[in-house]
Structure 1
Amino acid sequence: MADLIAFLIEHFQDFDACPAPNDLSSLLEEVGFDGVEINYALMLLEILTAEPLISAKQEFTDSLRVYTVDETDIFPPEVIDLLHFLSREQALNPSQRELVVHALLCMPPEDITVDLAKVLSLLVLWIQRSELPVLIGDELMMALHGQTVMH
């Protein structure tokens, strides 16, 4: 999944330049991505772009996100720590964080890792054309290439 999302971000630096789902599916198949991976990516793109109440310009708040029992059963503690860190450092606003949580909940529980959370965070930021602090952006981008150091 990380490779596919990396491909999208690197080849379509502007989300608006990304082809329509049918064309994108064909392109990704031609490049050699697995059909299951393509379906997950297209599903995530649909979910993440269908949220009308989400604003990339939403103000950052000092609110505390309390995770439900279901979420804490599914998310490893490192994923919750990462989401808290990204919110605290204002890399994700509360609405963007909720989109990442929603996207993670759509994934098979055994696939949920810190790297996947980083990749999905990048996907949300890319879709919303958001800027993020350079050091945090560099760290998140490393997850796309299999090199991580942030916890």
Structure 2
Amino acid sequence: MFEVLVFVYENYWRGDACPEPEQLGRKLSAHGFEAEEIREALHWLDGLSLATQGLQIEHSPDNDEASATVVLRGRPEAALPQSDNAMRIYSQAEQDHLGAECLGFIRFLESSNVLPCGLREIVIERAMAAPGDPVALDELKIIVLMVHWSTGIEPDALVLDELCESREGRTAH
């Protein structure tokens, strides 16, 4: 499934440029992906589309960073801003499925102001819908890229490098 998602990301730079699922399925099949992989990926992308429907992107006037606010049930007045002192507590199922390495990476992205709380929740929800126990870190990075892709938020170049590069072959400084 993740190979299909990478192909979609590389070939359709923005989520709104991606063709409808039926046409995308035919294109993926023509590129040699197996039917089961395509079916899983399209189902996952459908869930991503549903998860980002209530997302409202707000840009801060004093900098170029984007923050994401989740609008609950289509009502902007129902959106609750996260307090600076708020802490995300992961359920046992989330801890088991994501594993310590992925949870640490999510925390790193949050502390780097790359993953606002609204996007974090979508990343977690989509990671919980992904196969694997626990989800591999490289797969979580693809999920983070796909959430950014779907919302039209382009990550910072250094963050994009971190999300796209494998740890193998890197020398620690």
> How do 1:78-93 residues align onto structure 2 when only pairs under 5 Å count?
78-93=101-116
Tell me the C-alpha RMSD between the 2 structures. 2.0
Which is richer in strand? 2
**Counterpart AA for 1:148:** R
Q: 1:148: which partner in 2?
A: 167
- d(CA) in 2 for partners of 1:139 and 1:2? 17
- d(CA) in 2 for partners of 1:14 and 1:96? 16
TM-score for the superposition, normalised by structure 1: 0.86
- d(CA) in 2 for partners of 1:25 and 1:46? 12
1:78-104: per-residue Cα shift (whole Å, max 9, x none)? 010011111111211111111111111
> How do 1:113-132 residues align onto structure 2 when only pairs under 5 Å count?
113-132=136-155
Q: 2:5: which partner in 1?
A: 5
> How do 1:1-151 residues align onto structure 2 when only pairs under 5 Å count?
1-51=1-51, 52-57=53-58, 58=68, 62=84, 63-110=86-133, 112-142=135-165, 147-148=166-167
Q: 2:78: which partner in 1?
A: none
Q: Name structure 2 gaps, 5 residues minimum.
A: 59-67, 70-80
2:102·2:140 contact (CA, 8 Å) conserved in 1?
yes
Q: Identify the range of structure 1 (84-93 vs 23-32) with the bigger mean alpha-carbon deviation.
A: 84-93
Q: Name structure 1 gaps, 5 residues minimum.
A: none
Which is richer in helix? 1
Change (3 A) 1:35 1:148: farther
Q: Identify the range of structure 1 (92-101 vs 106-115) with the bigger mean alpha-carbon deviation.
A: 106-115
Which segments of structure 1 move beyond 4 Å, counting only runs of 4 or more?
none
1:29·1:35 contact (CA, 8 Å) conserved in 2?
yes
Name the SS of the counterpart of 2:118 in structure 1.
helix
2:148·2:154 contact (CA, 8 Å) conserved in 1?
yes
- d(CA) in 1 for partners of 2:109 and 2:56? 17
**Counterpart AA for 1:127:** S
- d(CA) in 2 for partners of 1:141 and 1:106? 21
Higher-Rg structure is 2
Name the SS of the counterpart of 2:55 in structure 1.
coil
1:94-140: per-residue Cα shift (whole Å, max 9, x none)? 11111111111112233611111100000000010102221111111
1:56·1:93 contact (CA, 8 Å) conserved in 2?
no
TM-aligned CA deviation for residue 43 of structure 1 = 1.3
Relative contact order: is structure 1 or structure 2 higher (C-alpha 8 Å, sep ≥ 6)? 1
